[in-house]
Amino acid sequence: MPTQKEKTIINFKKAQSLILKIIKMMDDDKYCIDIMQQNLAVVGLLKSAHQMLMENHLNTCFKKAFETRNEKKKKEMINEILRVSKLINK
């Protein structure tokens, strides 16, 4: 069974492949709706990869930071998560 990291990489590779397909579709003047559907598939793959990255970060780096007594580091980690969360919602 693939690890979380391997699953994330698979999503990025699938997205990369679809982007190349979309570019070819554009070059070949394919039907707009077909291109948009492929684009949405890429968006879905990237969102999924983002979620996997976030879960991994929370279960490793974030967890490790919160096991320390370093309040400054804890606050930095919280601010990082908030900053990235705001970006995904733009």
Give the residue, 89 or 22, on which the prediction is more confident: 22
Residue 3 has phi, psi (to 5 degrees) of -75, 170
Q: What domain range includes position 84? A: 4-88
Q: For residue 61, what is the domain's CATH number?
A: 1.20.58.1000
Residue with tokens 């919160």: 66
Q: Are 15 and 42 in contact (CB under 8 A)?
A: yes
Q: Which whole number is the average pLDDT over 68-84? A: 92
Q: What is the pLDDT of residue 17?
A: 98
In this prediction the pTM is: 0.85
What pLDDT band is residue 90 in, cutting at 50, 70 and 90?
confident
pLDDT in tens, 19-30: 999 999 999 999
Does residue 36 carry a pLDDT above 80? yes
How far apart are the two ends of the chain, measured CA to CA in Å?
34
The count of domains in the chain is 1
55 vs 44: CA distance, rounded Å: 17
